[in-house]
Amino acid sequence: MDLWQYLHQTNKKIVLYGTGNGTDKVLDRLIADGTPVAGVFAGGGFVRSRTFRGFPVERYEDISARLEDFLILMCFGSARAEVLENVRCIAAEREFLIADVPVAGTQIFDEAFYETHKEELSQTRAMFADETSRIVFDRLVRFKLTGRPEALFASERPELPPEADLSLPSGATIVDLGAYTGDTAADFLSLYPDCGKLFAVEPEPRNYRRLCALADAQPRVIPVRALAGAADGSAMISAARRGRGSAVSDSGVLTPVIRVDTLLTGAPAHLIKLDVEGEEQNAILGAAQTISAFRPKLIVSCYHRSGDLFSLPQAVYSLRGDYHMYLRRRRCIPAWECELIFC
């Protein structure tokens, strides 16, 4: 029984925690399933006498006083320590579940999705180079299906083994796709002080301006305002989701799209990081010549779409079959901050 089936048959009232885009997606699914919702609550600083989709936004204390027996379904993401601690405290008092709805796309990782892609998931599991990756994978799949926080917390494995070699030669070229305001670029400069060029690709205009400030202080950083894609051209990014979550949309800000192969003009890359809000597969395709010819090390976010856990390994291995692949996840709710590492 998956999370959505469980919610449909439970005798407890269902209360949603959160009021953002994730809650919209969760509520849409529950309505489609005919599963009733008894209320919505938010953290104290986010209540402010307002409504969400017709529900008054309450405090947890108000919900607890109003309802006797209810379960909580968390509908947003956070890696903030105070949020994670609050989750642990509430989960000790009530049945607490976490919805893992996709950041990009509409397909939810439910039992039907699992059964459809069971063979692909099994093939991907066998590709991992170490047992820890398989443990992370198994617990992520269990969490996505059940929404149980214990499976999510048990999937946290941030450290790579020594054999996962991410060392780079002096003068190495790094490509940072989804560079945001330069935080990961700064991390790469610290980790690889002898690197050469660092291409920092970011589509969102305000983030890009902040990225340029880093480039002014670090001449090795080459800022590029563009989306990383499978073909050169242009696309819209959603104005409603500007920020770290900029997304391809039918309307918004017209933005250049560039392939990694075009960016590098035939020169090698030694490390490519891909965190592009659901466009990772397209970005891999746009780096096909670079990956095939030079076998750069890859750090690929794999949590934006429900199929990322199997479709992204398939995309990489279709270009080069000699990578060693690892899966790691840092602390976050829901199953975000998840990366495939190819080296």
Strand, helix or coil for residue 333: strand
Round to whole Å and give the CA distance between 200 and 180.
9
The parent domain of residue 31 ranges over 1-99
Q: Over 80: is that where the pLDDT of 47 sits?
A: no
Q: Give the confidence band of 236 by pLDDT, cuts at 50, 70, 90.
A: confident
In a domain, 137, yes or no: no
**194, 333: one domain:** yes
Q: Over 90: is that where the pLDDT of 241 sits?
A: no
> What mean pLDDT comes out for the span 156-160?
94
pLDDT for the residue numbered 182: 95
Q: Which of 238, 256, 257 is nearest to 247 (CA)?
A: 238
- Pick the more confident residue, 271 or 83: 271
Q: Give buried/exposed letters for 35-63 (b at 16+ CB in 10 A, else e).
A: bebebbbbbeeebeeeebeebebbebeeb
> What mean pLDDT comes out for the span 196-223?
94
- Compute the Cα dihedral for 223, 224, 227, 228 and give only its sign: negative
> What mean pLDDT comes out for the span 139-159?
96
Query: Of all helices (H) and strands (E), which one includes residue 254?
Result: strand 253-258
> What mean pLDDT comes out for the span 280-305?
98
In a domain, 228, yes or no: yes
**89, 189: one domain:** no
From 79, 99, 119, give the residue that closes a domain.
Answer: 99
Q: Give the confidence band of 247 by pLDDT, cuts at 50, 70, 90.
A: low
Cβ-based burial of 127 (10 A; exposed 0-12, middle 13-18, buried ≥19): buried
pLDDT for the residue numbered 237: 84
Residue 333, both tokens:
């709710």
In a domain, 210, yes or no: yes
pLDDT for the residue numbered 44: 66
Phi, psi of 66, deg, nearest 5 = -85, -35
**311, 202: one domain:** yes
Q: Which of 147, 83, 161, 65 is nearest to 109 (CA)?
A: 147
Amino acid at 243: G
From 74, 99, 124, give the residue that closes a domain.
Answer: 99
- Percent of the chain having pLDDT more than 90? 88
Q: Over 50: is that where the pLDDT of 242 sits?
A: no
Domain count of the fold of the chain: 2
Q: Over 70: is that where the pLDDT of 317 sits?
A: yes
**222, 338: one domain:** yes
297, β-bridge pairs: 271
- Percent of the chain having pLDDT more than 70? 95
From 69, 99, 129, give the residue that closes a domain.
Answer: 99
Q: What mean pLDDT is reported for the chain?
A: 94
Q: Which of 276, 265, 269 is nearest to 203 (CA)?
A: 276
Q: Which of 2-11, 180-189, 251-260 has the lowest mean pLDDT?
A: 251-260
Angstrom CA distances, 318 to 100, 182, 256, 298, stand at: 28, 31, 27, 14
Q: Over 50: is that where the pLDDT of 240 sits?
A: no
Contact 84, 277 (CB under 8 A): no
pLDDT for the residue numbered 253: 83
Domain at 68, CATH number: 3.40.50.720
**SS3 of the chain: helix, strand, coil, percent, to 5:** 40, 20, 40
> What mean pLDDT comes out for the span 129-154?
97
**90, 236: one domain:** no
